[in-house]
Amino acid sequence: AQTVTQSQPEMSVQEAETVTLSCTYDTSENNYYLFWYKQPPSRQMILVIRQEAYKQQNATENRFSVNFQKAAKSFSLKISDSQLGDTAMYFCAFMKHENSNYQLIWGAGTKLIIKP
């Protein structure tokens, strides 16, 4: 069974700083996707960034980038120039992509607080 672990329950940084959120996962699959989702107090789960396991290049979306280490089964999220609006729960999620099994498996989340 796949598992996703987020070892940082809470992190806090000053506005404009860079912060890295950690995520590790366990799977024997070779074809899968990894995601970072943001859940602000409004509760709406918003996709931040996704990474296909077959791609070696790390995904980037504006201020958000990942460090994907497939052999180490590590998938960290870096937020550059952090903003107050980045304050939220961040969830790492895994989806294997074969045999019609497309359920998302989630970590427990990291609460990120951006201080002014």
Partner 1 sequence: DAGVTQSPTHLIKTRGQQVTLRCSPKSGHDTVSWYQQALGQGPQFIFQYYEEEERQRGNFPDRFSGHQFPNYSSELNVNALLLGDSALYLCASSLGLGGEQYFGPGTRLTVT
User: Please, are residues 83 and 23 in contact by the beta-carbon 8 Å criterion?
Assistant: no
Measure the CA–CA gap between 66 and 45, rounded to whole angstroms.
Answer: 19
- Stretch of 17-25, 68-76, 80-88, 91-99 lying at the interface with partner 1 (CB under 8 A): 91-99
Exposed (0-12), middle (13-18) or buried (19+): which is 11, by Cβ within 10 Å?
middle
68 near partner 1 (CB under 8 A) = no
113 binds partner 1 (CB under 8 A): no
CB count in 10 Å sphere of residue 58: 15
Q: Which stretch binds partner 1 (CB under 8 A): 20-28, 63-71, 80-88, 106-114?
A: 106-114
Query: Out of 7, 12, 44, 69, which residue is the one contacting partner 1 (CB under 8 A)?
Result: 44
Contact residues toward partner 1 (CB under 8 A) are: 4, 37, 42-47, 50, 91, 93, 95, 97, 100-109
